[in-house]
Amino acid sequence: MTSTRILAQEEKGAAARPRLICAPELIVEPEALLAKLEAACDGLEPSALRNEAVRILREAQKHGREEIARAFRAAPFDSRAMARSYTYLTDNLVQLTLHVAGSMLHHKPNPTRGERLSVIGVGGYGRGEMAPHSDVDLLFLIPYKVTAFSESVIESMLYILWDLKLKVGHATRTITECLRLGAEDFTIQTALLEHRYICGDAELAERLEKELKTDLFSGSGREFIEAKLEERDQRHLKQGERYVVEPNVKEGKGGLRDLHSLFWIAKYIHHVDHSSELVAKGVFRADEYQTFSEAEAFLWAVRGHLHLLTGRASEQLTFDMQVQVAEAMGYEDVGGRRGVEVFMQAYFRQATAVGDLTRIFITALEAMHVKAEPLLERIFRRKPKIREGYDVVHNRIAIRDPQAFLSDKLNLLRIFEEALRTGMLIHPDAMRLVQSNLRLIDEDMRNTPEAQRIFLDLLLKHGNPERALRRMNELGVLGAFIPEFETIVAMMQFNMYHSYTVDEHIIQCIANLARIEKAELEEELPVASSILKRGVNRKVLFVALLLHDIGKGRSEDHSILGAKMARKIAPRLGLKQDEVDTVEWLVRYHLLMSDMAQKRDIADPRTVRDFAKAVQTVKRLDLLCVLTVCDIRGVGPNTWNNWKAVLIRGLYRQTKRALETGLEDLNRENRGAGAKKALREALSDWPRKDVQAEIARHYPP
């Protein structure tokens, strides 16, 4: 919370004005603009004066915006300088608008103390971060109740700013009102947390800053913190998972608002002015702050280009905008992948990094006892039987002795097994330790029978493997244990069919399989449920699902390449040769049943015959049917429907019957169907009723 007139808060210790994206004089020359305003408006009536001032300011605004946009297009990742530059331009427009309103339209040589006015930026504008079409949130600070003079100045300012097409949010308040309303409303309190003096009475602004520090922001902030975290949770529920393929850059999970929430809380507790100060406070390590900084810069770059390309305050990365933003940021096609897919993979990896930082930060809050544990955990707390080497901290699995933990490489897998066994979450400090030591997962470790056992148990033993897989994936463990998996982490599938990234799609598929096994979907999926009840090779099925899209993101057909990769990976997971062969076949043909059911006529015996010849055995048919159902359901929330269910069930039942009774009956039926068709064509000029009677004389119904 500072009181300066420059564009944005400078980083701690910085001696000079923060760097803009181009020379300040290219954006706006305030002294020259002021002189131009005074010369052009001299002697004009108020109405004409205001119109002329708006014309001059609009011209300067247009020029400044064009210069910033041009420079940003040339340096598409220089987002901090872009955000500061739009703030710098806006600051000057607001300052000159106050001059026009207070010194030219409503000039008063000696205003009283009660007529003083200070203009304060709040929210994002107060933070000094503006995208091309960000709102301009202003607090008009007055010493006592509003006077006729200050009301006239404020009104004239607002009309000028609105004429400049700025989206202005505003409030006129005294310091006392700021304190009272801030205490009652966390939204107002958050806005005041990032206030910044723009122009007007500096002494009044300094008083506000002092009183906010000693009054509104002097406590532990527990209620404020809980409110911000609850707000974040509600926002995530509305926006969906970070893996949703059309994310909201600002409000979505892993987006800018999550980073803002962390900083708001940090500013409240630690009284810092810049996120870099959180390293000295012990909240982040230096490398974690670097991650914070990179994620913030990347997301701001995306948001800036999104605003420029749409010409409005657009925050949703829709499919069409993803292509344009990727091009604007210089992403190109590479290795069989489109530039937009490379861009979106980078986006989702940054969103995941934001999630990691959030966990770390919340842990620090709990350690300071400023964040309460969830109520149910406090009421129903149990003492789980935890294995040697672990402790329970805030109802999470913590590592007792980091050095001892790291002395056995297998512990980097065992901790996920322990989490599934106990049903507890892993403590973020333990996650940090694992993530920092992924190098221990080497070739020797991967090939040990114990590592293979632990990994297969994670899939097969505890009933909710998706929990372990998702956390392992986020921490990089899954990609370290199966190096081929790393390529598809956060990989975007650029089509409107898939709702998730490739890695999240795989985890969703496995979650569906686990639910079917637990008999949670018997009514919805009777065939798949009955197959699993009769019994299949679960190891083969889970591993095939895990690897079915492993070949994506290359120029070769992902089913063919994936099968080759599965043949190498499956033995490393401890599968026997016959199991490896089946996994390879399932990966190679994982789309076959879906394509046959949806693209061919399942009422045609030739479809069933061709499919049965490809599948060959009922065992394979059972495995492929369950895999197909899980694959379709794992694409997105609404991809499985009654139409697909009827087709898959019909194809399964007919093919199973054909495999059990032999293809000869099917061939005989096929020949009969062909003969009937030929007879219909030969008797095409007969009445339909007579044709049917003739067919009935020669062929059984």
- CATH number for the domain spanning 354: value is 1.20.120.330
- pLDDT of 623 above 60: yes
Within a domain: 486: no
Band the pLDDT of 670: cuts 50, 70, 90. Answer: low
Range picked from 1-5, 88-92, 364-368, 495-499 for highest mean pLDDT: 88-92
Pick from 183-192, 570-579, 686-695: least confident: 686-695
Which H or E element spans position 172? strand 168-173
Strand partners, 393: 396
Q: Please indicate, yes or no, whether residues 328 and 242 belong to a single structural domain of this protein.
A: yes
Do 238 and 204 fall into the same domain? no
Has residue 473 got a pLDDT over 70? yes
In the β-sheet with 196-200, what is the strand arrangement from edge to edge?
168-173, 136-141, 118-121, 196-200
Q: Classify residue 383 by its DSSP letter.
A: -
One domain, residues 465 and 422: yes
Q: Which of 82-96, 143-157, 306-320, 489-503 has the lowest mean pLDDT?
A: 489-503
Q: Which of 439, 460, 481 is the last residue of a domain?
A: 481
pLDDT in tens, 59-88: 999 999 999 999 999 999 999 999 999 999
| Of the listed ranges 275-289, 400-414, 599-613, 627-641, the one predicted with least confidence | 275-289
**pLDDT for res 119:** 98
**What pLDDT score does 63 carry?**
98
**295 and 440 together in one domain:** no
Report the number of distinct structural domains present in the chain.
Answer: 4
Q: Return the pLDDT at 11.
A: 35
Do residues 231 and 211 share a domain?
no
Q: How confident is the model at residue 663 (pLDDT cuts 50, 70, 90)?
A: low
Contact 95, 313 (CB under 8 A): no
User: Where does 482-636 have alpha helices with state H?
Assistant: 502-517, 526-534, 538-547, 558-572, 577-588, 592-599, 605-615, 618-633
Please list the residues that pair with 390 across neighbouring strands. Answer: 399
Q: Which of 558, 655, 638 is nearest to 602 (CA)?
A: 655
- The residue among 281, 233, 239 whose CA lies nearest residue 261 is 233
Q: Does the pLDDT value for residue 669 go beyond 90? A: no
Whole-angstrom distance, CA of residue 250 vs CA of residue 240? 13
Does residue 565 belong to any structural domain of this protein?
Answer: no
Q: Report the chain's mean pLDDT, rounded to a whole number.
A: 89
Instruction: Establish if 580 belongs to a structural domain.
Output: no
Counts of helices then strands in the chain (DSSP H, E)? 34, 7
273 plus 178 within the same structural domain: no
Q: What is the pLDDT of residues 612-621, one digit of tens each?
A: 999 999 999 9
CATH number at residue 428: 1.10.110.30
* Domain shared by 394 and 362, yes or no: no
Range of the domain at 260: 224-372
Percent of all residues in the chain with a pLDDT value above 70, rounded to a whole number: 90
Closest CA to 349 of 553, 237, 502: 502
For the packed helices 618-633 and 592-599, what is the interaxial angle rounded to 10 degrees? 80
Residue 464: is its pLDDT beyond 60?
yes
For the residues 640-644, what does the mean pLDDT come to? 93
As a whole number of angstroms, the distance between CA 162 and CA 151 comes to 16
109, 202: one domain: yes
pLDDT of residue 445: 96
Of 374-378, 385-389, 465-469, 475-479, minimum mean pLDDT range = 374-378
Residue 134 lies in a domain: yes
**Which residues, 6+ apart, have CB-to-CB distance to 66 below 8 Å?**
none
* Position 274 confidence tier, pLDDT thresholds 50, 70, 90: confident
Out of 175, 193, 218, a domain closes at 218
Q: Which of 218, 251, 266 is the last residue of a domain?
A: 218
Contact at 8 Å (CB) between 655 and 620?
A: no
Residues 137 and 240 placed together within one structural domain of the fold: no
More confident: 393 or 68: 68
**Which amino acid, 76?**
P
Q: Looking at the structure, do residues 310 and 334 belong to the same domain, yes or no?
A: yes
What is the helix (H) or strand (E) element at residue 320, kind and residue range?
helix 319-328
Q: Are residues 339 and 308 in the same domain?
A: yes
pLDDT tens digits for range 87-109: 999 999 999 999 999 999 998 88
Asked whether the predicted pLDDT for residue 624 surpasses 90, the reply is yes
Give residue 666's pLDDT band: very low, low, confident or very high (50, 70, 90): low
- Are the C-beta atoms of residues 469 and 507 closer than 8 Å to each other? yes
The mean pLDDT value for 635-657 works out to 93
Rounded to two decimals, the pTM is 0.84
CA distance 74 to 389: 54
The string of DSSP letters for 81-114 reads: HHHHHHHHHHHHHHHHHHHIIIIIIS--SS--GG
pLDDT number for residue 127 = 92
For residue 371, what pLDDT band results from cuts at 50, 70 and 90?
A: low
pLDDT digits over 512-555, tens only?
A: 999 999 999 999 999 999 999 999 999 999 999 999 999 998 88
What is the 8-class DSSP label of residue 273? Answer: S
The reported pLDDT for the residue numbered 5 is 31
- Give the three-state DSSP class for 284: coil
Asked whether the CA dihedral 120, 122, 127, 130 is positive or negative, the reply is negative
Contact 643, 579 (CB under 8 A): no
Question: What's the rounded Cα separation, in Å, for the pair 68 and 76?
Answer: 11
Q: Report whether 506 contacts 470 (CB < 8 A).
A: no
Predicted local distance difference test score (pLDDT) of residue 1: 30
**Confidence band of 147 (pLDDT split at 50, 70, 90):** very high
Which range (19-33, 179-193, 300-314, 483-497) has the least confidence? 483-497
Examine the pLDDT at 370 and tell me if it is beyond 60.
Answer: no
Which pLDDT score, from 0 to 100, does residue 493 have?
A: 75
Q: How confident is the model at residue 488 (pLDDT cuts 50, 70, 90)?
A: very high
Residue 501, in any domain of the structure: no
Q: Is the pLDDT confidence value at 177 over 60?
A: yes
**One domain for residues 396 and 258:** no
What per-residue confidence (pLDDT) applies to 350?
Answer: 94
Is residue 355 very low, low, confident or very high in pLDDT (cuts 50, 70, 90)? Answer: confident
Gap between the Cα atoms of 127 and 257, Å rounded: 13
Rounded (10°) angle between helices 605-615 and 642-661: 70
Is 45 contained in some domain?
A: yes
The per-residue pLDDT for 496 is: 61
